[in-house]
Amino acid sequence: MAQKFKCKYCGVKEDPENLVLEKKEYTRKSNHKDGKWKKGDVYNVNVRYHKSCYDKIQQENRDLDALYDEMKRIFDVDKIPESFMGLIQRIRNGNAAIGYKKRDAKKSRQGYPYLVIRDAYLERENMIRWKSQQWDGTTGRFLSFVLHYYIADVIEDVYKRYLRKESQKRMKKDVTQTQDYSFDSFAYKEKEDEQDISDML
Ligand SMILES: [Zn+2]
Protein backbone atom coordinates (compact mmCIF):
# COMPACT_ATOMS: atom_id res chain seq x y z
CA MET A 1 0.00 0.00 0.00
CA ALA A 2 1.18 3.46 -0.85
CA GLN A 3 2.34 5.66 1.95
CA LYS A 4 -0.22 8.12 3.24
CA PHE A 5 0.64 11.66 4.24
CA LYS A 6 -0.93 14.03 6.68
CA CYS A 7 -2.48 17.26 5.45
CA LYS A 8 -0.58 19.95 7.34
CA TYR A 9 -3.73 22.01 7.77
CA CYS A 10 -6.40 19.58 8.93
CA GLY A 11 -4.24 16.65 9.99
CA VAL A 12 -6.17 14.04 8.00
CA LYS A 13 -4.09 11.27 6.44
CA GLU A 14 -4.45 10.94 2.70
CA ASP A 15 -3.00 9.30 -0.41
CA PRO A 16 -0.38 11.60 -1.92
CA GLU A 17 -2.31 12.03 -5.20
CA ASN A 18 -5.07 13.83 -3.28
CA LEU A 19 -2.66 16.33 -1.78
CA VAL A 20 -0.76 19.28 -3.16
CA LEU A 21 2.93 19.44 -2.34
CA GLU A 22 4.73 22.52 -1.20
CA LYS A 23 8.48 22.58 -0.68
CA LYS A 24 9.29 24.92 2.14
CA GLU A 25 12.75 26.34 2.60
CA TYR A 26 14.03 26.96 6.10
CA THR A 27 17.26 28.35 7.48
CA ARG A 28 18.91 26.78 10.51
CA LYS A 29 18.73 29.13 13.44
CA SER A 30 21.57 27.53 15.41
CA ASN A 31 24.46 25.09 15.08
CA HIS A 32 23.77 21.37 15.54
CA LYS A 33 25.51 20.12 18.67
CA ASP A 34 27.33 17.32 16.77
CA GLY A 35 28.06 19.51 13.77
CA LYS A 36 25.39 18.06 11.42
CA TRP A 37 24.46 21.58 10.38
CA LYS A 38 25.54 25.13 10.95
CA LYS A 39 23.56 28.22 11.69
CA GLY A 40 22.46 29.73 8.39
CA ASP A 41 22.31 26.39 6.49
CA VAL A 42 19.26 26.11 4.26
CA TYR A 43 17.13 22.94 4.25
CA ASN A 44 13.90 21.87 2.56
CA VAL A 45 10.80 20.35 4.05
CA ASN A 46 7.96 18.83 2.03
CA VAL A 47 4.58 19.95 3.23
CA ARG A 48 1.34 18.51 1.89
CA TYR A 49 -2.19 19.88 1.91
CA HIS A 50 -5.62 19.07 0.55
CA LYS A 51 -6.38 21.49 -2.26
CA SER A 52 -9.32 22.91 -0.29
CA CYS A 53 -7.17 23.26 2.84
CA TYR A 54 -4.47 24.96 0.78
CA ASP A 55 -7.05 27.47 -0.50
CA LYS A 56 -8.08 28.17 3.09
CA ILE A 57 -4.48 28.90 4.02
CA GLN A 58 -4.13 31.28 1.08
CA GLN A 59 -7.29 33.07 2.21
CA GLU A 60 -5.97 33.25 5.77
CA ASN A 61 -2.73 34.77 4.53
CA ARG A 62 -4.71 37.42 2.68
CA ASP A 63 -6.77 38.08 5.83
CA LEU A 64 -3.58 38.42 7.86
CA ASP A 65 -2.15 40.88 5.33
CA ALA A 66 -5.37 42.91 5.50
CA LEU A 67 -5.21 42.96 9.30
CA TYR A 68 -1.55 44.02 9.19
CA ASP A 69 -2.31 46.88 6.80
CA GLU A 70 -5.20 48.13 8.93
CA MET A 71 -3.06 48.02 12.06
CA LYS A 72 -0.29 50.03 10.40
CA ARG A 73 -2.86 52.58 9.30
CA ILE A 74 -4.64 52.84 12.66
CA PHE A 75 -1.42 53.05 14.69
CA ASP A 76 0.16 55.26 12.03
CA VAL A 77 3.40 53.24 11.88
CA ASP A 78 5.47 51.77 9.04
CA LYS A 79 5.61 48.32 10.56
CA ILE A 80 4.31 46.28 13.44
CA PRO A 81 7.03 44.34 15.30
CA GLU A 82 7.35 40.70 14.26
CA SER A 83 7.04 39.54 17.86
CA PHE A 84 3.66 41.26 18.13
CA MET A 85 2.45 39.68 14.88
CA GLY A 86 3.59 36.34 16.34
CA LEU A 87 1.27 36.98 19.27
CA ILE A 88 -1.57 37.80 16.85
CA GLN A 89 -0.95 34.46 15.13
CA ARG A 90 -1.08 32.62 18.44
CA ILE A 91 -4.35 34.37 19.24
CA ARG A 92 -5.67 33.22 15.87
CA ASN A 93 -4.57 29.67 16.66
CA GLY A 94 -6.13 29.83 20.09
CA ASN A 95 -3.00 29.36 22.16
CA ALA A 96 -2.61 32.88 23.44
CA ALA A 97 -5.08 35.03 25.28
CA ILE A 98 -6.35 38.53 24.63
CA GLY A 99 -6.57 40.11 28.07
CA TYR A 100 -8.25 37.47 30.20
CA LYS A 101 -10.23 36.12 27.26
CA LYS A 102 -8.97 32.99 25.67
CA ARG A 103 -10.92 30.86 23.28
CA ASP A 104 -11.11 27.30 24.46
CA ALA A 105 -8.87 25.89 21.79
CA LYS A 106 -8.44 22.18 21.51
CA LYS A 107 -7.26 22.15 17.94
CA SER A 108 -5.14 24.48 15.91
CA ARG A 109 -6.76 27.56 14.38
CA GLN A 110 -9.56 27.61 16.93
CA GLY A 111 -8.95 31.12 18.20
CA TYR A 112 -10.27 34.38 16.75
CA PRO A 113 -10.10 34.56 12.93
CA TYR A 114 -7.97 37.38 11.50
CA LEU A 115 -11.10 39.01 10.08
CA VAL A 116 -12.57 39.20 13.58
CA ILE A 117 -9.37 40.69 15.02
CA ARG A 118 -9.33 43.23 12.19
CA ASP A 119 -12.95 44.23 12.79
CA ALA A 120 -12.21 44.66 16.51
CA TYR A 121 -9.35 47.06 15.67
CA LEU A 122 -11.59 48.97 13.27
CA GLU A 123 -14.27 49.23 15.94
CA ARG A 124 -11.73 50.71 18.36
CA GLU A 125 -9.97 52.94 15.84
CA ASN A 126 -11.13 56.25 17.34
CA MET A 127 -10.19 55.23 20.89
CA ILE A 128 -6.77 54.06 19.74
CA ARG A 129 -6.09 57.33 17.91
CA TRP A 130 -7.24 59.37 20.89
CA LYS A 131 -5.14 57.38 23.35
CA SER A 132 -2.05 57.40 21.16
CA GLN A 133 -1.87 61.20 21.48
CA GLN A 134 -1.37 60.88 25.22
CA TRP A 135 0.81 57.79 25.19
CA ASP A 136 4.40 58.42 26.24
CA GLY A 137 5.66 54.81 26.35
CA THR A 138 7.04 52.68 23.54
CA THR A 139 5.02 51.53 20.53
CA GLY A 140 5.42 47.93 21.68
CA ARG A 141 3.82 48.69 25.02
CA PHE A 142 1.06 50.65 23.35
CA LEU A 143 0.26 47.74 21.01
CA SER A 144 0.09 45.45 23.98
CA PHE A 145 -2.04 47.88 26.01
CA VAL A 146 -4.54 48.29 23.18
CA LEU A 147 -4.76 44.54 22.62
CA HIS A 148 -5.29 43.58 26.23
CA TYR A 149 -7.73 46.37 27.10
CA TYR A 150 -9.48 47.88 24.09
CA ILE A 151 -9.51 44.81 21.85
CA ALA A 152 -10.19 42.35 24.68
CA ASP A 153 -13.24 44.43 25.52
CA VAL A 154 -14.97 43.98 22.17
CA ILE A 155 -13.48 40.83 20.61
CA GLU A 156 -16.08 38.42 21.95
CA ASP A 157 -18.97 40.55 20.65
CA VAL A 158 -17.32 40.97 17.27
CA TYR A 159 -16.75 37.21 17.17
CA LYS A 160 -20.40 36.48 17.98
CA ARG A 161 -21.51 38.80 15.18
CA TYR A 162 -19.11 37.04 12.82
CA LEU A 163 -20.48 33.59 13.78
CA ARG A 164 -24.04 34.81 13.30
CA LYS A 165 -23.21 36.14 9.84
CA GLU A 166 -21.46 32.90 8.92
CA SER A 167 -24.42 30.77 10.02
CA GLN A 168 -26.81 33.06 8.11
CA LYS A 169 -24.70 32.55 5.02
CA ARG A 170 -24.91 28.79 5.53
CA MET A 171 -28.66 28.94 6.17
CA LYS A 172 -29.29 30.92 3.00
CA LYS A 173 -27.54 28.19 1.11
CA ASP A 174 -29.61 25.49 2.82
CA VAL A 175 -33.05 27.08 2.46
CA THR A 176 -34.92 25.77 -0.53
CA GLN A 177 -37.36 28.04 -2.28
CA THR A 178 -40.23 25.62 -1.96
CA GLN A 179 -40.14 25.79 1.81
CA ASP A 180 -43.41 26.94 3.33
CA TYR A 181 -43.29 29.22 6.35
CA SER A 182 -46.70 29.32 7.93
CA PHE A 183 -47.60 31.95 10.51
CA ASP A 184 -48.17 29.23 13.08
CA SER A 185 -44.68 27.92 12.88
CA PHE A 186 -43.33 31.43 13.62
CA ALA A 187 -45.65 31.84 16.61
CA TYR A 188 -44.56 28.52 17.94
CA LYS A 189 -40.91 29.40 17.43
CA GLU A 190 -41.30 32.62 19.41
CA LYS A 191 -42.78 30.75 22.35
CA GLU A 192 -39.91 28.35 22.24
CA ASP A 193 -37.43 31.23 22.41
CA GLU A 194 -39.20 32.76 25.40
CA GLN A 195 -38.99 29.46 27.15
CA ASP A 196 -35.27 29.24 26.46
CA ILE A 197 -34.61 32.69 27.90
CA SER A 198 -36.63 32.13 31.07
CA ASP A 199 -34.82 28.87 31.59
CA MET A 200 -31.56 30.70 31.61
CA LEU A 201 -32.62 33.49 34.01
ZN1 LIG B 1 -6.66 19.04 4.85
Closest by Cα among 75, 70, 108, 79 to 91: 108
The total domain count for the chain is: 2
How many angstroms separate the CA atoms of 75 and 113, rounded?
Answer: 21
Within this chain, do residues 133 and 38 fall inside the same structural domain, yes or no?
A: no
As a whole number, mean pLDDT of residues 29-56 equals 93
Shared-domain flag, residues 162 and 137:
yes
Distance 49 CA to ligand 1 centre (A): 5
Are residues 77 and 44 located together in one domain of the fold? Answer: no
pTM score, two decimals?
0.70
Find out whether 7 and 22 touch, Cβ atoms under 8 Å. no
For residues 136 and 74, state if they share a domain: yes
Q: Are residues 16 and 88 in the same domain?
A: no
What SS3 class is residue 56? helix
Tell me how far the alpha carbon of residue 6 lies from the centroid of ligand 1, in angstroms. Answer: 8
Same domain? For 77 and 138 the reply is yes
Q: Which domain holds residue 150?
A: 57-173
Q: Look at residue 62 and tell me if it is in a domain.
A: yes
Tell how far the Cα of 74 is from the centroid of ligand 1, in angstroms. Answer: 35
Same-domain check for residues 110 and 37: no
Q: Which residues have CB less than 5 Å away from ligand 1 (the ion)?
A: 7, 9-10, 50, 53
Q: What is the chain's mean pLDDT, rounded?
A: 85
Cα dist from 78 to 18, 26, 126, 140, 156, whole Å:
41, 26, 19, 13, 28
CA distance 198 to 201: 5
> In this structure, is residue 141 part of a structural domain?
yes
Other CB atoms within a 10 A radius of the CB of residue 39 amount to 10
Residue 89 alpha carbon to ligand 1 centre in Å: 19
Q: How many CA atoms lie less than 13 Å away from 56 in the CB half-sphere?
A: 11
* DSSP of 57-73: HHHHHHHHHHHHHHHHH
Question: What does the pLDDT look like over 56-101, one tens digit per residue?
Answer: 999 999 999 999 999 999 999 999 999 999 999 999 988 888 876 5
Q: What is the pLDDT of residue 201?
A: 43
pLDDT band at 176 (very low <50, low <70, confident <90, very high): low
